[in-house]
Amino acid sequence: MFIIIGFLVVLGSIVGGYLMEHGNIKVLIQPAELIIIGGSALGTVLVGNPLHVIKKIIAGILGALKGSPFTKAYYLETLKMCYEILNKARKDGLLAIENDIEEPDKSPVFSKYPKFLKDHHLRDFVCDTLRMAVTGGIDPFDLDQMMDLDMEVSHRGASAPITALSTMADSLPGLGIVAAVLGVVITMGSLGGPPEEIGHKVAAALVGTFLGILLCYGFVGPLAASMAKIGEDEHAFVYVLRVVLISFIKGAAPIQALEFGRRAIPANVRPGFNEMEKSCKNGGAAPAGGQ
């Protein structure tokens, strides 16, 4: 939502200032320039990236428009889920959760958290880690290194679409110059014609440069930055799960493991200890707000 508001502010400021100087808005409407710049930019993305990265770009843009899902409410919900599964393992033994981690969709614990199950990366991260703990024979330090490796690989994968979109943004001013040069070529072919026609073609050529710079710094660049921030939020979320799991595997009680994880939550979405304990132990509902 904030991205859409930001885009409207960008457009409103530019168009509003232009109209205040008595500019003709029709001059800025140049479909040919948009086709040249937008089509060329899309082509550079197709040339430089495999299909799976392009799919991630589309998914990342849609996700950025929705906003970060890693809110305080989601943290509380996930900590509550961790408490339930870890408490079950502590009371009944690690083997008691074997069916839960082998078939999480059918688990009486995990099935209560559809948002977690829908995110295959988070689900597999938790279940695979607990599977290693159930299997036994692996040192907690080695298991921690395994989780760190998993996070590093996932982080690299998440960075690929952001890099691709940033590269596209960097190419837009240059493609705007290409559109402007083509406009100048057309203008040179019209020399000797009516001055009004030549002036219109020069204006259209300059709009190409304007659009390239505007799309770069006003739209695509900020969109890539927003995707990067959501990627950082996801990395922080997985890190909290890592802290909770490794703390429990090292011997901490479930509520103690959750406290270790709570301390790792970013300050702007970190719940208080009492808030977390109430949500986990007393079945308190997570706050409806998304802060």
Read off the amino acid at residue 49. Answer: N
Q: Is the pLDDT at 41 greater than 90, yes or no?
A: yes
> What pTM value is reported for the model?
0.86
Residues 6 or more apart from 175 whose CB is under 8 A from it? 36, 37, 40, 41, 212
Q: Is the pLDDT at 285 greater than 90, yes or no?
A: no
HSE (side-chain half, CA atoms, 13 Å) at 131: 14
Report the distance separating Cα 199 and Cα 194, nearest Å: 9
- The residue ranges of every structural domain in the chain are 50-281
Report the distance separating Cα 181 and Cα 185, nearest Å: 6
pLDDT over 70 percentage in the chain? 95
Chain centre to alpha carbon of residue 240:
17
Tokens of 286: 């997570």
Q: Which residue has the higher pLDDT, 200 or 131?
A: 131
pLDDT digits (tens, 9 = 90+) for 136-175: 878 999 999 999 999 999 999 999 999 999 999 999 999 9
pLDDT reported for residue 213: 94
Angle at 57 between CA 104 and CA 36, to 5 degrees: 160
Tell me what the mean pLDDT of segment 179-204 comes to.
80
| Least confident range of 24-38, 217-231, 237-251 | 24-38
pLDDT reported for residue 71: 93
Buried-exposed string 35-50: b where 16+ CB fall within 10 A, e elsewhere: ebbbebbeebbeeebe
Tell me what the mean pLDDT of segment 81-99 comes to.
92
Tell me what the mean pLDDT of segment 233-246 comes to.
95
pLDDT reported for residue 236: 95
Q: Which is nearest to 33 in space by CA: 164, 193, 189, 214? A: 214
pLDDT reported for residue 235: 94
pLDDT reported for residue 38: 92
pLDDT reported for residue 283: 55
User: What DSSP designation does 265 have?
Assistant: S
Q: Is the pLDDT at 286 greater than 50, yes or no?
A: no
| Least confident range of 65-69, 126-130, 183-187, 266-270 | 183-187
Q: CA 47, 51, 57, 59: dihedral to nearest 10 degrees?
A: 160
| Least confident range of 142-146, 205-209, 213-217, 256-260 | 205-209
- Bin 272: left if φ > 0, else alpha if -120 < ψ < 50, else beta: beta
Buried-exposed string 219-250: b where 16+ CB fall within 10 A, e elsewhere: bbbbbbebbbebbebbbebbbbbbbbbbbbbe
Long-range pairs of 106-111 with CB within 8 A, sequence gap ≥ 24: 109/81, 109/84, 109/85, 110/81, 110/85
Q: Is the pLDDT at 185 greater than 90, yes or no?
A: no
Tokens of 23: 């500019």
Q: Is the pLDDT at 288 greater than 50, yes or no?
A: no
Q: Which residue has the higher pLDDT, 92 or 136?
A: 92
